[in-house]
Amino acid sequence: MNNLKRTALLGFSCMSALLTVTQAQAEPTLYLGMNGGTMERLYADKVLPVFEKANNVKVVIVPGTSADILAKVQASKGNPQLHVMFLDDGIMYRAISMGLCDKLEDNPTLAQIPAKGRIKEQAVAVSLGVTGLAYNTRLFKEKGWAAPTSWMDMADPRFKDKVVFQSMASSTFGLHGFLMFNRIQGGSETDVEPGFKAWPNTVGRNVLEYIPSSAKISEMLQTDEAALFPLTPTQVTALKLKGMPVEYAQPKEGAVVLNVAECTIANNTQPQLAQKLAAFLLTPDAQAAALEDGDQIPSNPNTPTTDKTRGQVEAMKQYLETAIAIDWDQVNEQRPAWNARWNRSIER
């Protein structure tokens, strides 16, 4: 090879290497904390690629429960590893109180979200939901049981050893179920004595197992161990798509509001891009994809629906009309003491 060719090849090689480095430098990475499993795959495959392409950025999902994500962000508060996070609304209130969220910047998309979807100035609902009851349709049909209609059905003697309850200490579903039971007993968010007092001889007698999260429910449905448990319509739809014999039941006392909210992490390394991602996830286009492919009920009322999704959105509107909104500031202040009492006296 003569010197001219060698020089040309060397120059081309250097240019290629420089281009690769430049491209890598030009593509920053954002880290988004959210639930894993079905939701993670939905956003990775159907929602985020549009944002990545439009902004020349890579978005990496860090999966975990809301409690897991909160713990990660709290542990790295001085040097945040995440940029945006999704949390259940109750846990989002805790994150805000800890100073972990930046104020959301005003933008046209944020302005489209109704005031009831906002959490202070730092967070906003990405998807809407409620916690109600779910039941094993195969088992109910086999036993000739009527579909549940009340939170107090969990205390019905028919369901002895057939109620599966997510731990109040670790699950929003479990906390919601307990707080509704407590309300029916005459309690409130400032007085849980009626609920703790009545639980052992009512619902407690029927509970087969207290589980840390809803992840085990699929398995317990297949074995018919689980007949009745708190869950959201969205989670029920996901289980049904997997062939599980399950249906949602709206309690006559009302379901409990359970929105998934987002915020940008305080002091993150890409504040402008993080705000841009948060705004994108509120757009009708992003939420339409999450609805169509993942049954995530949109918080943006301008999100278009299809024949497949229209019924789900309308049903959620009806559920929300009678849904109970928790006073999360009050609950979070007392929850550590409740958790300790729950672990000591209920799940002992």
Q: What is the pLDDT of residues 188-203, one digit of tens each?
A: 999 999 999 999 999 9
Q: Which pLDDT band, with edges at 50, 70 and 90, does 215 fall under?
A: confident
pLDDT at 238: 87
Nearest 10 degrees: Cα torsion 123, 126, 128, 129: -90
Question: Is the confidence at residue 50, as pLDDT, over 50?
Answer: yes
Average pLDDT over residues 245-257: 97
Instruction: Give Rg (Cα) of the chain.
Output: 23
Average pLDDT over residues 65-94: 94
8-state DSSP, 189: T
pLDDT at 19: 43
Domain borders along the chain are: 28-128+259-304, 130-257+325-345
Question: Is the confidence at residue 117, as pLDDT, over 80?
Answer: yes
Q: Could you tell me what percent of the chain has a pLDDT over 90?
A: 84
Question: Is the confidence at residue 63, as pLDDT, over 90?
Answer: yes
268 alpha carbon, distance to own chain's centre:
22
Q: Classify domain 28-128+259-304 by CATH number.
A: 3.40.190.10
pLDDT at 125: 98
Question: Is the confidence at residue 252, as pLDDT, over 50?
Answer: yes
Question: Is the confidence at residue 27, as pLDDT, over 90?
Answer: no
Average pLDDT over residues 7-22: 47
Both structure tokens of 151: 């939170």
Query: Quick one: fold of 130-257+325-345?
Result: D-Maltodextrin-Binding Protein; domain 2 (3.40.190)
Q: 130-257+325-345: same fold as 28-128+259-304?
A: yes
Question: Is the confidence at residue 100, as pLDDT, over 80?
Answer: yes
Long-range contacts (CB closer than 8 Å, 24 or more residues apart) made by 339-342: 339/168, 339/169, 341/196, 342/167, 342/168, 342/169, 342/178, 342/196
pLDDT at 26: 64
3-state secondary structure of 31: strand
Question: Is the confidence at residue 333, as pLDDT, over 50?
Answer: yes
Q: Which pLDDT band, with edges at 50, 70 and 90, does 3 fall under?
A: low
70 alpha carbon, distance to own chain's centre:
12
Average pLDDT over residues 15-41: 73
Q: Which pLDDT band, with edges at 50, 70 and 90, does 93 fall under?
A: very high
Residue 107 burial (C-beta neighbours within 10 Å; 0-12, 13-18, 19+): middle
pLDDT in tens, 221-242: 999 999 999 999 999 998 998 9
Average pLDDT over residues 10-33: 62
